[in-house]
Structure 1
Amino acid sequence: MMLDNRIERDIDACYEAVFDPTRWTDTLHGLARSLNAACMMFYPGNPDASSNDPRNPAREFGAMPSSRDYGDLLCEYVKNHWYLGHYRAERGMPLLRAGRTVVTEHDLATDEERRRLRHYNELYMAFGFPGFAMVGLKVHGGLWAVPMLRAKGQGHFTTEDSKALARIAPHFRRMISLSETMALAQGRTALATMDALSCAAFLLDSVGNVLSHNSIAERILGDGLHLSGRRLRAADHASELELRKLVHQAITNRRPSSLDASHAVAIRRDTRRPLLVEALPTAGIIGDVFQSTSAIVIVKNFEDRPRTTSDQLRGAFSLTPAETRVAVLLATGAGPGAIADSLHLSKETVRAHMKMIFAKTGTHRQGELVALTANMAGTSPMT
């Protein structure tokens, strides 16, 4: 190991990267060098220990902080699925889950085994990284690892190296925890901003659980939406299915630009106008490199706003009288069945009218039509 003061200096630099995530690549490079390693990264472990993929599916693996010399190997690791059937994960992760702080290459395979192991020879040796150690840590119940690689000439990690790595393991835990605390604080600031805009808003974690919500959201719960097991749910069954799709898209796409910009869901209520719901990934909104947050769900209540008139709809989009009657009811959140009963039409006729309405208004689903009519009535939905 190198001198302790150099290690301490580079650990301090990593703490600074928590506040300035653009520095992670360089600070981890420096720390790896001070630990006599070639490269290192933060690796989110899969909470499902039985999965053959050791990566946490709720976090974007390629966006995790890593040092500069890890890049090419990580690209190969992901592109050609080297994480599957990987002896280091299959043998090492259970040891970390059982309480080990550090595992090294010599804990996982013998010299004889390594001569035959495909991952060792075709991946790590091909990139010139024979040495391996992995620091394990638990953050808020989730398993994380900090793998490190040594290049040819640096040798393998020794027992003394493992002791030194164990001493700095608490720093890695605090870095992740501090970053997640900051992300939650930024998320709550975003929720307060939505309060000022008269929008209910919910902050979701990496798997879709509600981490926090604002005061307007608190008032709207129980009126079409509710929390169940930390999940945001809709009382109406059809709306619930749409809400699940919306949230899933937001927490899996990660980037706002990857979403359908017009995607909105109308949450139907029995006697009141629908709630309009959109979900935005927090990437780019919250500086959360460890991805403890995933999305902000924004809810707009148009109950006390002016309603779009049939004349406005008919004039703006050249709707026929029959289409106008269906469009007005769609804008209230009514489903095809309820519209058919109200207008004494068959469901097939209602669906045919809906197809024409969507085509003429340039919308694709009911939530978009609700947003459009809200705009026409002088209320801008969230953007």
Structure 2
Amino acid sequence: MVAIDIKRLQYASMHLSDVVADPARWAEVLEEITQAVGAIGVGLIPQTGSEGAVATANLRDCLETYVRESWTEQDRVSHLRSRALLMRGEIALDRDLANADDRAPFFEEFLPRFDGKWWAGIGIRSGSDIWSLTMHRSLRQGPYEQSERAILQQFSLRLNEVGSLAELAGRVTLSTVANSFDQMGKAVVAIDETGRFIHANAAATRLLGAAIQVVGGRLMFRDRHAAAEYSKVIERLRGLREGKILRAPPIIVRRENATPLVIKILPVDGAAKSPFLSARALLLLNEIVGPAKSDWQAFSRAFGLTPAEARLAALLALGDSLENAATALGITRETARSRLKSIFQKTDTHRQGQLVALLASLA
């Protein structure tokens, strides 16, 4: 049987503040906590999903399986009891989550698959979210005793302090980045890997409206095609590894009585990516405006467009549909399609949205 090493836990507590300045140190700090509390592994997990979760190496497969197999639903009773205790700021132990007559699949079926038997959880408040520091012990290590509950309760005070600081530091980092874009006149929105809205700078706030709204904490697009493209990008974000390039084309958002918006997506890595904030990408919003005549002439020469093709491209860049552009130019839709096909070939684009994004670079 093992017991919490108080001196080691105090050492881990001292180093918790390191994660505020450097979120990448969470994995290292969790390893220290694992040794201090006599566990086989420790995880930091949001109660509303898995975005931003961090775990020690020997607990990652357990966490991934828990999410993949939807164990919050398979053992809903234990999950809800745990959540209720954590929200009240209490320490949750395995024996708190199942009565003697209850069947607890999480403890009877799931944990033994990963050499786990005993469990303890500490609730951490971060903004409006509740996180759990979950600790697993093996059969050999033994359960968490009542005397250890008091030790963990004291440790939870430090965890909640650091959680609040880490969430605040993450927001300050994002705000600083966003304000830098403001100074350049660029609109930027921060989202997590599920597409949940986190922050918008002043320039972006001015562009959000009927075409793009924040509903239920998420970005909603009135343009169905843009909404579908955005969903594809979110799917790619979920599987994107740290430091990798997100190969996603710009999203064109058409607006009524206004020129389109072009959205480029930049993944967030490093210090701006905090478990308690989970910012995963910055969306750069660019409002298309009509370029100067000299810009169009340079663009036409660069891609070898004829005057007729350049006039069609100009209307498309300002948000007109191909049909409306054809009417404005006094040509048939068939002629417009033929010219558009030629424009695609000359500009090495394949869709109208890609062409509009290319033309937007002239603004």
Residue aligning to 1:331: 317
Once the two structures are superposed, residues 181-232 of structure 1 have per-residue CA deviations (whole angstroms, 9 ceiling, x without a partner) of 1121111221233234332223346653352404x446x5489877666766
Which of 23, 30, 44 matches 2:25? 23
In 1, Cα distance between equivalents of 2:214 and 2:309? 38
Deviation at 1:347, TM superposition (A): 5.0
Alignment-mate amino acid for residue 88 of structure 2: G
Residue aligning to 2:267: 281
Question: What are the equivalent positions in structure 2 for 1:159-178 lying under 5 Å apart?
Answer: 159-178=146-165
CA 1:89 to 1:283, structure 2 compared with 1: closer, same or farther past 3 Å? farther
**What percentage of residue pairs aligned between the two structures are identical?**
24
SS of residue in 2 equivalent to 1:126? helix
In 2, Cα distance between equivalents of 1:130 and 1:112? 18
- Indicate conservation of the 8 Å contact 1:199/1:298, yes or no: yes
Deviation at 1:364, TM superposition (A): 3.8
- Indicate conservation of the 8 Å contact 1:265/1:278, yes or no: no
Deviation at 1:121, TM superposition (A): 4.6
Which of 11-20 and 200-209 deviates more?
200-209
Alignment-mate amino acid for residue 144 of structure 2: F
Residue aligning to 2:286: 300
Does 1:211 pair with 2:199? yes
Once the two structures are superposed, residues 6-43 of structure 1 have per-residue CA deviations (whole angstroms, 9 ceiling, x without a partner) of 32221122221332233322221221222232221111
- Indicate conservation of the 8 Å contact 2:273/2:280, yes or no: no
Does 1:154 pair with 2:156? no
In 1, Cα distance between equivalents of 2:303 and 2:114? 61
Does 1:69 pair with 2:55? no
Once the two structures are superposed, residues 160-182 of structure 1 have per-residue CA deviations (whole angstroms, 9 ceiling, x without a partner) of 32333222223323333222211
Which of 264, 272, 276 matches 1:290? 276
Deviation at 1:88, TM superposition (A): 6.8
Residue aligning to 1:180: 167
- Indicate conservation of the 8 Å contact 2:75/2:105, yes or no: no
In 1, Cα distance between equivalents of 2:210 and 2:96? 55
SS of residue in 2 equivalent to 1:293? coil
- Indicate conservation of the 8 Å contact 2:197/2:218, yes or no: yes
- Indicate conservation of the 8 Å contact 1:87/1:108, yes or no: no
Runs of at least 5 residues in structure 1 that lack an aligned partner in the other structure: 47-54
Which of 189, 194, 201 matches 2:176? 189
CA 1:187 to 1:366, structure 2 compared with 1: closer, same or farther past 3 Å? farther
Runs of at least 5 residues in structure 2 that lack an aligned partner in the other structure: none
- Indicate conservation of the 8 Å contact 2:195/2:219, yes or no: no
- Indicate conservation of the 8 Å contact 2:127/2:167, yes or no: no
SS of residue in 2 equivalent to 1:298? strand
CA 1:260 to 1:30, structure 2 compared with 1: closer, same or farther past 3 Å? closer
Residue aligning to 1:49: none
Which of 73, 81, 91 matches 1:92? 81
Residue aligning to 1:52: none
Q: Tell me how large the CA RMSD over aligned residues is.
A: 3.7
